[in-house]
Chain A
């Protein structure tokens, strides 16, 4: 048997055994045979030195955890069912598993919605702090002006002016970083949800 024939048979065997990284495995045996030929062996002898395809597959399976093998098998059967239009089986399974997956799905969706709301709340809260500083500064200025009418005693007016200047300065100083922070959080929200979607898929 020549290399190409051996590799074709090996591919068929690996596919039948639901082994996922077939290309990598084929590359490995291709390299092994080529190295033997390079060392002076003829192609047929090099192939003859390889183990049987059954033995290769059983050694490969022996290394893999059972859970991974089952997952590969389920994935393969799912893909095959899709390919052959046997989606009915999966529809039946979805209906039978309905009492389990529906509450789980609702819980996950509720959690994601809560996370979405919380993240937007952070943005709004931070923005509100900035607006509050600005408004308090204006209020302080107003009280200071009222001092001249005699309605407000002068110590309170002076204190209000100080507070207005301090809060006004704070508003100006913090406006840029807070705006940047709000933009960053708002920008992160779609990114976080994309990541979650990707990890679920």
Chain B
């Protein structure tokens, strides 16, 4: 998959999982891995970027005698999901057009 497209999809996946409720790194990887491949090294920069864009907030809380980071979605993050879904509709339209053009040429 194209890196740019994959990045957009992963952003949406992280935000969509967070829309269900606050989560932490390990759980995010586990949840997202059920529908798209993601690793820690992919997730970390995404979380950093989304945080810098104010699409999610981070808080540290003590868990089992250590600190764990919890991520929550913001209103800007929710707006980003809507935006990505809108963009996706456009991509599907273009996909259909290309597929039809190809079909007609091959016919």
User: Residues on A close to B: CB < 8 A?
Assistant: 21, 24-25, 27-29, 31-32, 34-36, 38-39, 50-51, 55-56, 59-60, 62-64
Contacts and interface: CB of A to CB of B under 8 A. Distances in A.
Interface in B46-80: 46, 48-49, 64, 66-69
Contact of B26 (A31, A51, A55, A64): A31
Given A38-B64, A63-B48, A63-B49, A31 B69 contact: yes
B46 A36 contact: no
Contact of A64 (B3, B40, B45): B45
A25 B44 CA distance: 8
Interface in B10-65: 24-27, 29, 39-42, 44-46, 48-49, 64
Interface residues of B, number: 20
Interface of B: 3, 24-27, 29, 39-42, 44-46, 48-49, 64, 66-69
A67 to B, nearest CB: 15
Q: Is the interface of B mostly helix, strand, loop or mixed?
A: helix
Contacts of A27: 67, 69
Contact of A31 (B3, B45, B49, B68): B68
B40 A50 contact: yes
Contacts of A21: 48
A35 B24 contact: yes
A63 B46 contact: yes
A63 B11 CA distance: 12
A32 B26 CA distance: 6
Contacts of B26: 31-32, 35-36, 39
A28 B44 contact: yes
A59 B37 CA distance: 14
Given A34-B66, A62-B3, A63-B49, A51 B41 contact: yes
A158 B59 CA distance: 74
26 contacts: A27-B67, A27-B69, A28-B40, A28-B44, A28-B69, A29-B44, A31-B25, A31-B26, A31-B67, A31-B68, A32-B26, A32-B40, A35-B24, A35-B26, A39-B26, A51-B39, A51-B41, A55-B41, A59-B41, A59-B42, A59-B44, A59-B45, A60-B45, A62-B3, A62-B45, A63-B45
A36 B64 CA distance: 13
Contacts of B66: 31, 34
A56 to B, nearest CB: 4
B49 A29 contact: no
